[in-house]
Chain A
């Protein structure tokens, strides 16, 4: 069974940093592109970032480019999102997702709150 479990969310002050993790199991993690998608409270879904299977290629939404870094450790079946210079508008549930072409498996999400 495919499982994606996010962790690392919490309350952080504006300008601060946070590192999210996503532990994957039930599939060959190193064979898949992985993404982060976020959802602000009561709002819609927003794609954040993606990384290819070996970590050599990444893409970001304009809203996080230069502030967020996606990475992965295939030996530990783990996806990461390093978030720096956080803003109030980054407050959201962050989902880790697996995609071949579309997002067919999702974690339960981890809440990041940026507030003073």
Chain B
């Protein structure tokens, strides 16, 4: 099983700041990695797929990078609606999610 680890567990930032979230895989997943956003009481929303492609309707302030075992989700300038939990997910070998990074308001 491919294990995904995310860091930090919590990121406390102010609106307008840049957020950098990390996801590391226990073995290479090539570029088969996605990022999701989840707000309380809601289903997750796909943000980024294949490491760096924005899903339909996702604002340009969200970007993804990386390949192999190390990946990054960057939110260039936090909007109030961006405070949420973010999960990475791989599809290289079945499917696993990381434990999540909570982005909260400083």
Q: Which residues of A contact B (CB under 8 A)?
A: 35, 44-47, 50, 59, 61-62, 95, 101-104, 106-109
Contact = CB atoms under 8 A, between A and B. Distances in A.
Interface of B: 1, 32, 34, 36, 38, 43-46, 49-50, 55-56, 87, 89, 91, 94-100
The 9 closest A-B pairs by CB, nearest first: A106-B43, A47-B95, A45-B97, A102-B34, A102-B49, A104-B46, A44-B100, A44-B99, A45-B87
Nearest to B34: A102
26 contacts: A35-B95, A44-B97, A44-B99, A45-B36, A45-B38, A45-B44, A45-B87, A45-B89, A45-B100, A47-B96, A47-B97, A59-B94, A101-B32, A101-B50, A101-B91, A102-B34, A102-B49, A102-B89, A103-B34, A103-B36, A103-B44, A103-B46, A106-B43, A106-B45, A107-B43, A109-B43
Contacts of A106: 43-45
A48 B3 CA distance: 15
What is the interface of chain A mostly: helix, strand, loop, or mixed?
strand
Contacts of A61: 94
A103 B36 CA distance: 9
A59 B95 CA distance: 10
A61 B96 CA distance: 9
A59 B94 CA distance: 8
